[in-house]
């Protein structure tokens, strides 16, 4: 059972371009979370998705950022018109739905976005 | 709002001694708490968790303690090893919602 797969591992974009970050959750996991880590900072929540649903996007900037988790395929975090301040490591995590039991989230290796 | 706080950004411990990492939270609705370990350029890896119905959970050298009245949890690593040197994040959630993370504590275990 492969872990959470994120790609690309490294992404360089010029200011104004679009960045697409992909996340394939662990097999059988229906919950996906995206977190951002700025240099020397902790993990900041961005968005929580289930298949075809956004459950909580309270951490997403109001503009330029969007996320989806379609019925088929990976979850996508999309950043339009990137700016230098978007440079960060973006981590995806997934967890299964276990009824009324809490479970841990498993993280991918992250995508390091650099905006030049 | 910072609902999970790790007030010590760094900790240095001698190999073989105990490492104690602390975490405080403000939301009394949290019912599940976790510790993650993170090496540079890698994703966080799950270490140990505890449900709010317990006050202690042990797994090998790692023990997590939960004090609900104080809204405080701690991770004890004993004996500490150089390979334990990493950033440790505590996290909490409730009702299958998002995980709230602390800002991390960088542990350095000196040989």
Mean predicted confidence (pLDDT) in A63-67 = 96
Chain A residue with Cα closest to B100: A45
The answer to which of A52-56, B1-5, B6-10, B69-73 has the lowest mean pLDDT is: B1-5
The string of pLDDT tens digits covering residues A84-105 is: 999 999 999 998 866 556 778 8
What pLDDT, on the 0 to 100 scale, is given for residue B96? 66
Chain B residues within an 8 Å CB radius of A94: none
Instruction: Please report, for residues A6, B20, B54, the alpha-carbon distance to residue A22 in angstroms, rounded to integers and kept in the order given.
Output: 6, 36, 37
What pLDDT, on the 0 to 100 scale, is given for residue A38? 87
Min Cα distance B78 → chain A (Å) is 23
Average model confidence (pLDDT) across chain B: 94
What pLDDT, on the 0 to 100 scale, is given for residue B65? 98
Test mutation, B27, B97, B98, chain A, max A CBs within 10 A = B98
The string of pLDDT tens digits covering residues B91-107 is: 998 876 788 999 999 99
What pLDDT, on the 0 to 100 scale, is given for residue A96? 82
pLDDT confidence of A47, banded at 50, 70, 90? very high
A110 to B42: CB separation less than 8 angstroms, yes or no: yes
For residues B78 and A75, what is the distance between their CA atoms, to the nearest angstrom? Answer: 39
Residues 6+ apart with CB under 8 A from A72: none
**Burial A29-58, CB ≥16 within 10 A → b, else e:** bebbbbbbbeeeebbebbbbbeeeeeeebe
């Amino acid at each position: 059972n492969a872990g959470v797969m994120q790609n690309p591992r490294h992404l360089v974009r010029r200011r104004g371009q679009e960045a697409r970050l992909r996340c394939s959750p662990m097999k059988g996991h229906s919950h996906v979370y995206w977190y951002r880590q700025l240099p020397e900072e902790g993990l900041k929540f961005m968005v929580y998705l289930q298949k075809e649903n956004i459950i909580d996007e309270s951490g997403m900037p109001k503009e330029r950022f969007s996320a989806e988790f379609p019925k088929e395929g990976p979850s996508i975090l999309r950043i339009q018109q990137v700016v230098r301040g978007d440079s960060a490591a973006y981590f995806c995590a997934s967890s299964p739905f276990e009824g009324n039991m809490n479970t841990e989230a498993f993280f991918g290796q992250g995508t390091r976005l650099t905006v030049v | 709002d910072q609902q999970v706080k790790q007030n010590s950004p760094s900790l240095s411990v001698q190999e073989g001694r105990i490492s104690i990492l602390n975490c405080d939270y403000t939301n009394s609705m949290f019912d599940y708490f976790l510790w993650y370990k993170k090496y540079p350029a890698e994703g966080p890896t799950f270490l140990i968790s505890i449900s709010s119905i317990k006050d202690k959970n042990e797994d090998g050298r790692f023990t997590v303690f939960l004090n609900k009245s104080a809204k405080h949890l701690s991770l004890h690593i004993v004996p500490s090893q150089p390979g334990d040197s990493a950033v440790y994040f505590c996290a909490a959630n409730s009702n299958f919602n998002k995980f709230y993370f602390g800002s991390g504590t960088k542990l350095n275990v000196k040989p």
